Amino acid sequence: GDRFGGGGKGGDDKKREIGEYYQQMLKLNPGDPLLLRNYAKYLHEVEKNVEKAEEYYGRAILASPGDGDLLSSYGKLIWETEKDEDRAQSYFDQAVHASPDDCMVLGSYAHFLWEADEEEDEEIPQGTAPAMIGA
């Protein structure tokens, strides 16, 4: 067979194995913030299971409330899935406060600000923007 995921449903089997592995590890270490965060990220990005990802991000934040990368990842999930700017902003603010020198946190925050600004620009219907007054 193709070892690189080109054939059949090998990718699905691998995904299932990874999910089962995380579940086994979490049974042994239910409060481990790194495991909780990684499983949440896996659920979000690989399984596309937003509801479960939110649950595990929430558990990870309870276990490690000062983890800027974690707070940033959760803010990203909220923004991508719900477009809830205020709620996402709250988590990004906490993330930057917790990890002001973390380039990944700052990069995620900058990306969020860029996208949120673009969303606001798209919401302004043509013809309603203030008129430019010539000198």
pLDDT in tens, the chain (135 residues): 444 444 455 678 898 999 999 999 999 999 999 999 999 999 999 999 999 999 999 999 999 999 999 999 999 999 999 999 999 999 999 999 999 999 999 999 999 999 999 988 887 665 555 555 565
CB 78 within 8 A of CB 51: no
Sketch the domain layout of the chain as residue ranges: 13-119
pTM of the prediction?
A: 0.79
Task: List the CATH code of the domain at 13-119.
Answer: 1.25.40.10
CA of 86: how far to CAs of 75, 79, 112, in Å? 10, 9, 11
Which residue type is seen at 132? M
